[in-house]
Structure 1
C-alpha cells in the first residue's frame, strides 16, 4: 500500500506545475535570455538548472501532491508559490549559470532591473535575489554541475559530425539552437528533458533534415546519432 502511495505521489509531482504554467516559465526564461543577450552555454545551463532540476525538485521539497522528501525547504518565496516568485527563480537560474560560465558574471542589479520590467505585479529587491539564490541552491541540493547540459552534447556531436563527414559543414549551429529553443519552449519532446544526450541527438537530426538537401542524404545520421548517444551515456 505504501509503495502504491509513493507511486501516486511521484506521478503527481512529475505533473507539477502543469504544462501551461511550465511553458510560460520556460518562455519567460528564454525571453529574459534574449533581453540579456546571454551566450548559448549560459542560456542552456540556466534552462537545465531551472527546468531540469529546480522545478522537478520543488514538489518533493514542499510536499506538493503528497510527494515526500527527507528535507523540507521553507521560505516566504515559496509560501505561497506565485508565478512572480517562480519567474524570480528563473532569473536566479540565469544568475547562477552566468557565475559559472562568464568571466564577468551578470550583476544582481542588472537582473533586478530586468525583473522590474518583465515580472508582473512584483518588484523584487537585490536582497530578494540573494535570498532566492540560497533557496534555489537548497532545493536542488547544490546540484549545479554543468557537464550534463544538452547544448554541451550538441556542440560535441556537431564537432564529431564535421570531422567524419563533409555534410557537417551544411549544419549551422544557429539552426540547431533555434530547434533546441523550440523544443524547450513548446515542450513537444518533454520526455527528452531527463536525457540531455537524447535531446541533443534529436536536435542534430532535425537540423540535418532541415539544412541538408535531400539528394545528398547519404550519411546514416540516425544510426550514427544513436551510436554516439549510447557511447556518451556509457562514458
Structure 2
C-alpha cells in the first residue's frame, strides 16, 4: 500500500497537467503585467513547493508523512481548483514584493476570464490562501530563487564588460520560462545559483554575436559563483538542447562547444 501511495505521489501531477498549470500561471503573469520578481516567486511557490507537497499533504504518502489537509479545494484537486492555487501563488508573491499588492478583486476578475470550469468568489481566494500556506508549511521565502541570482550576476557582468549590454534580460527570462514549463528541466531549479550561472552563459551564447565572443565567460562565472566549469557546461548544454531544440547537438559536442564559449 505504501509503495502504491509513493508511486502516486511521484507521478503527481503528470507531465501534461503540470505543463498546463505552468502555462496558465505564465499567462496570468502576462495578463497581470507582473514584475519579474513577483512572477518568478509565484512560479517557485507554486511549482517548486505547492505542487510537490500536495500529494503528501493529501495523504498519498500515508499519515506518517505529515498532517493531511482537508478542504473541498483539494478533494479532489480539479484543474480549476489548481488554477485557483496558481493565482493564489501570484497573490502571495505580490503581497511580499509589491508596495501595492494585487487586490483579491483583480485576481477574481482575471480568474473569471481564464478559469474555464468554475467561477470562484473572493472568499474562495482567502480560503485557498490558507490551504496553500498549510501545504507549503508557510515556506514563502524568496531570497534563494534563480531569478534573483541571475539578476545579480547580470548586473556584475555589465559592470565589468561592455558585452553585458548585448545580453538581454528578456532572453534570460524566456529561458527560465521554458525550463519551468519543461518537466525534464524543472529539477534544475533545486540548485538556483548554478542554474542562474548556466542561464547567463546560455543567454550569452544566444544573444551575443559569435564574432564578439571575446570575454572568458566560463572562467568569470566560475570565479563569481565557485561552481565548476564542467558542471556549468553540462547545465548549459541541457538548457540549449531544450531551448533551441538542437537535436543534433549531443553530449560529445560539449568539448568543442566549451572552446567556442571561451573564445
TM-score (structure 2 length as normaliser): 0.78
Residues 153 and 197, structure 1, Cα contact 8 Å, conserved in 2: yes
When the two chains are superposed, the root-mean-square deviation of aligned CA atoms in Å is 3.2
Describe the SS at the equivalent of 1:78.
coil
Seen in structure 2, the aligned counterparts of structure 1 residues 175 and 128 have a Cα distance that, compared at 3 Å, is same
Describe the SS at the equivalent of 2:41.
helix
Give the CA deviation at 1:192.
0.3
**Which of 1 and 2 has greater Rg?**
2
Give 2:241's aligned residue: 227
Give 2:172's aligned residue: 176
Describe the SS at the equivalent of 2:184.
coil
Seen in structure 2, the aligned counterparts of structure 1 residues 107 and 64 have a Cα distance that, compared at 3 Å, is same
Distance 1:123 1:191 in 2: 33
Residues 60 and 68, structure 1, Cα contact 8 Å, conserved in 2: no
Distance 1:211 1:118 in 2: 33
Seen in structure 2, the aligned counterparts of structure 1 residues 132 and 210 have a Cα distance that, compared at 3 Å, is same
Distance 2:136 2:108 in 1: 22
Describe the SS at the equivalent of 2:199.
helix
What stretches of structure 1 move > 3 A for 4+ residues in a row? 1-5, 65-68
User: Structure 1: 5+ residue runs without aligned partners?
Assistant: 229-235
Give the CA deviation at 1:61.
0.9
Give the CA deviation at 1:3.
10
TM-score (structure 1 length as normaliser): 0.87
Describe the SS at the equivalent of 1:143.
coil
Question: Paired residues, what number?
Answer: 223
User: Structure 2: 5+ residue runs without aligned partners?
Assistant: 221-239, 243-263
Give the CA deviation at 1:227.
22
Distance 1:221 1:66 in 2: 48
Residues 9 and 61, structure 2, Cα contact 8 Å, conserved in 1: yes
Give 2:128's aligned residue: 132
Task: Specify which structure has the bigger relative contact order, considering alpha-carbon pairs within 8 angstroms and separated by 6 or more residues.
Answer: 1
